[in-house]
Amino acid sequence: MMKNMDCKKAQQLYDDLAGGLVAEPLATELRRHLDECTDCRVLRQRAVRLRQLLALKRYEQPPPAYFNNFVADFHRRLEADAMRPTWRQRLAETVRIEWTPLWRYGLAGVCGAVFALGFAWQVYRYAPAASPTAPATVVASAPVRSVPIPAVVPVAWHPEASRPQYVLERIAITPASYETASVRF
Amino acid sequence: MTTLRQLAERLKPASRHAAAAPVAQRSDLTHEEDEALVARVQRGEIRAFDVLVDRYKQRLYATVYHMTGNHEDANDLVQDALIKAYKSLRSFKGQSSFYTWVYRIAVNRTINFLKRRKDRGHVSLNDVDASIETDPDYVELMSHVTPRREAGLTELQEKLNEAVQKLSDEHRAVVIMHDVQGMTHADIAKVIRCSEGTVRSRLFYARQQLQGLLSDYL
Which of B3, B181, B207 lies nearest to residue A47, judging by beta carbons?
A: B207
Which of B2, B3, B149 to probe by mutation at the A interface, max A CB count within 10 Å?
A: B3
B210 or A8: which carries more pLDDT confidence?
B210
Range with the lowest mean pLDDT among A9-18, A44-53, B30-39, B134-143? B134-143
User: Do B115 and B178 fall within a single domain?
Assistant: no
User: Do B3 and B110 fall within a single domain?
Assistant: yes
pLDDT at B128: 61
Angle at B19 between CA B14 and CA B24, to 5 degrees: 120
Q: Is the pLDDT of residue A185 over 80?
A: no
Amino acid in position B92: F
Which of A12, A67, A78 lies nearest to residue B83, judging by beta carbons?
A: A78
Report the alpha-carbon distance of residue B141 to residue B159 in Å, rounded. 14
Which of B79, B162, B184, B188 to probe by mutation at the A interface, max A CB count within 10 Å?
A: B79
pTM of the model: 0.63
Q: Which residue, B67, B85, B120, sits at the end of a domain?
A: B120
**Once rounded to an integer, what is the mean pLDDT over residues A5-32?**
80
Amino acid in position A13: L
Contacts of B214 in chain A (CB under 8 A): 50, 53
Written as one string, the DSSP assignment of B56-93 is HHHHHHHHHHHHH--HHHHHHHHHHHHHHHHHHGGG--
Asked if A73 and B58 come within 8 Å (Cβ–Cβ), the reply is no
Asked if A63 and B3 come within 8 Å (Cβ–Cβ), the reply is no
Query: Taken in order B78, B83, B84, B86, is the CA torsion positive or negative?
Result: positive
Number of domains in chain B: 2
A104 touches B: beta carbon within 8 Å: no
Asked if B126 and A47 come within 8 Å (Cβ–Cβ), the reply is no
Report the alpha-carbon distance of residue A20 to residue A100 in Å, rounded. 71
Convert the pLDDT of each residue in B37-71 to its tens digit: 999 999 888 889 999 999 999 999 999 998 888 88
User: Do B6 and B91 fall within a single domain?
Assistant: yes
A139 or A171: which carries more pLDDT confidence?
A171
Decide if B49 contacts B37 (C-beta within 8 A). yes
User: Do B144 and B41 fall within a single domain?
Assistant: no
CATH value at residue B207: 1.10.10.10
Nearest CA in chain B to A45: B218
Report the alpha-carbon distance of residue B101 to residue B97 in Å, rounded. 6
Q: Which residue, B104, B120, B136, sits at the end of a domain?
A: B120
Contacts of A20 in chain B (CB under 8 A): none
User: Do B69 and B34 fall within a single domain?
Assistant: yes
Contacts of B79 in chain A (CB under 8 A): 73-74, 77
pLDDT at A61: 79
Q: Is the pLDDT of residue A3 over 60?
A: no
Report the alpha-carbon distance of residue A15 to residue A9 in Å, rounded. 12
Report the alpha-carbon distance of residue B181 to residue A57 in Å, rounded. 9
Asked if B126 and A62 come within 8 Å (Cβ–Cβ), the reply is yes
**Once rounded to an integer, what is the mean pLDDT over residues B89-99?**
86
CATH value at residue B44: 1.10.1740.10
A12 touches B: beta carbon within 8 Å: yes
**Once rounded to an integer, what is the mean pLDDT over residues A75-88?**
84
pLDDT at A144: 65
User: Do B72 and B32 fall within a single domain?
Assistant: yes
Nearest CA in chain A to B2: A79
Q: Is the pLDDT of residue B5 over 60?
A: no
A53 touches B: beta carbon within 8 Å: yes
CA B123 to the chain's CA centroid: 18
User: Do B113 and B196 fall within a single domain?
Assistant: no
Report the alpha-carbon distance of residue A184 to residue A60 in Å, rounded. 154
A1 or A167: which carries more pLDDT confidence?
A167
Convert the pLDDT of each residue in B138-180 to its tens digit: 666 666 645 555 557 777 778 888 899 899 989 999 999 998 8
User: Do B21 and B115 fall within a single domain?
Assistant: yes
pLDDT at B154: 74
User: Is residue A65 left, alpha or beta, with left meaning phi > 0 and alpha meaning psi from -120 to 50?
Assistant: left
| Segment of A60-64, A122-126, B31-35, B48-52 carrying the highest mean pLDDT | B48-52
Q: Quote the minimal CA–CA distance from A106 to chain B in Å.
A: 38
Phi, psi of A60 (to 5 degrees): -75, 115
User: Do B136 and B113 fall within a single domain?
Assistant: no
Contacts of B48 in chain A (CB under 8 A): none
User: Do B130 and B115 fall within a single domain?
Assistant: no
Q: Domain range spanning residue B183?
A: 126-218
User: Is residue A155 left, alpha or beta, with left meaning phi > 0 and alpha meaning psi from -120 to 50?
Assistant: alpha
User: Do B108 and B10 fall within a single domain?
Assistant: yes
Q: Which residue, B120, B152, B172, sits at the end of a domain?
A: B120
User: Do B115 and B131 fall within a single domain?
Assistant: no
Computed on alpha carbons and rounded to an integer, the radius of gyration of chain B in Å comes to 20
Written as one string, the DSSP assignment of A150-169 is PSS--TTTSTT--PPP-HHH
Question: Side-chain half-sphere of B159: how many Cα atoms within 13 Å?
Answer: 18
A8 touches B: beta carbon within 8 Å: no
